[in-house]
Amino acid sequence: MLSGIYSLLMAGAFVVLDAVDVAFTEAAVGAGISTVLMLGTLHLTRSREKIPTHGAFLPLAVVLLTGGILLYATTGMPAFGDPDAPVHTHVAPRYIEETPEKIDVPNIVTAVLASYRGYDTMGEVTVIFTAGVGVMLMLGGRKRRRDSDKEDGV
């Protein structure tokens, strides 16, 4: 499916932008898991889309307007790859300088993920856990009598 290819291309773009960890994740998640889930959903639902009855002009106008405003806003943003951009001068230099002495793992992304930003990561894991519980509650119940694994239901 196209979205899998899209994710793979996105992963390539991340490698070019020096974010190897992110590229790794995107390739594994986007091209693997989410494509399988999407195909599974299409199998469970109808795969044909109805022809839309209402016109596309209002959504198009809204989208173009929003896009125009956002493009205008980019003129106030720092240039691409600028080392003096605000994002590079706040906490990132401290992470890069302190990691060798204080944590001493070569991969700075892991150090920031697990140690400096441990609270964030714990929140993210909680979100994943909650989403898993949500999917179990939505789809785990028994649907028909002859479900082979109905005693496994939640």
Instruction: Tokens 């990561």: give the residue.
Output: 121
Q: Total residues contacting other proteins (rule CB under 8 A)?
A: 103
Separation CA 136–CA 10 (nearest Å): 30
Q: Does 8 contact other proteins by CB under 8 A?
A: no
Q: Does 12 contact other proteins by CB under 8 A?
A: no
Separation CA 65–CA 51 (nearest Å): 25
Least Å distance, CB 90 to other proteins, is 9
Q: What is the DSSP letter of 78?
A: P
Residue 103, class by beta-carbon neighbours within 10 Å (0-12 exposed, 13-18 middle, 19+ buried)?
middle
Least Å distance, CB 76 to other proteins, is 10
Q: Does 134 contact other proteins by CB under 8 A?
A: yes
Least Å distance, CB 59 to other proteins, is 4
Instruction: Tokens 């773009």: give the residue.
Output: 13
Q: Does 136 contact other proteins by CB under 8 A?
A: yes
First to last CA, the chain: 32
Least Å distance, CB 36 to other proteins, is 6
- Of residues 89-118, which lie at the interface with other proteins (CB under 8 A)? 91-92, 95-96, 99-100, 102-115, 117-118
- Of residues 17-56, which lie at the interface with other proteins (CB under 8 A)? 17-26, 28-30, 32-34, 36-38, 40-46, 49-50, 52-53, 56
Alpha carbon 123 to chain centroid, angstroms:
15
Q: Write out the two tokens for 99.
A: 């990691």
Least Å distance, CB 43 to other proteins, is 7
